[in-house]
Amino acid sequence: MIIIKNQTELAAMRVSTRKTATILHQVAAKIAAGVTTMELDDYAAELARKENGSCAFYGYHGFPGHLCVSINEEVVHGIPSRRIIRDGDIVSLDFGLEFDGFVGDTAITVPVGQIDPEWQRLLDVTQESLKAGISKAVEGNRLSDISHAVQTVAEAAGFSVVRNFVGHGIGRDLHEDPQIPNYGPPHRGAVLKAGMIFAIEPMINLGTHKVKTLKDRWTVITKDRAPSAHFEHTVAIGKIAPEILTIPAGK
* 2 part of a folded domain: no
Q: Domain for residue 104, yes or no? A: yes
DSSP assignment of 33-68: TT-BHHHHHHHHHHHHHHTT-EETTTTGGG--SSSE
Q: How confident is the model at residue 192 (pLDDT cuts 50, 70, 90)?
A: very high
Q: Tell me how many domains the chain contains.
A: 1
The reply to whether 97 falls in a domain is yes
Give residue 173's domain range. 7-244
Position 150 confidence tier, pLDDT thresholds 50, 70, 90:
very high
**Residue 105: inside a domain:** yes
Give a yes or no: residue 170 inside a domain: yes
pLDDT in tens, 33-59: 999 999 999 999 999 999 999 999 999
Q: Tell me the whole-structure pTM to 2 decimals.
A: 0.97
Q: Which band of pLDDT confidence, cut at 50, 70 and 90, is reported for residue 237?
A: very high
How does pLDDT run across 194-234, given as a tens digit for each residue?
999 999 999 999 999 999 999 999 999 999 999 999 999 99
Confidence of residue 250 (pLDDT cuts 50, 70, 90): confident
Give domain status of residue 249, yes or no. Answer: no
Assess whether pLDDT exceeds 80 at residue 251. Answer: no
| Model confidence at 85: pLDDT above 90 | yes
In a domain? residue 238: yes
What's 97's domain CATH number? 3.90.230.10
> What is the distance of C-alpha 209 from the center of its chain?
17
Q: Please check the confidence at residue 130 and state whether its pLDDT lies above 90.
A: yes
193 found inside a domain: yes
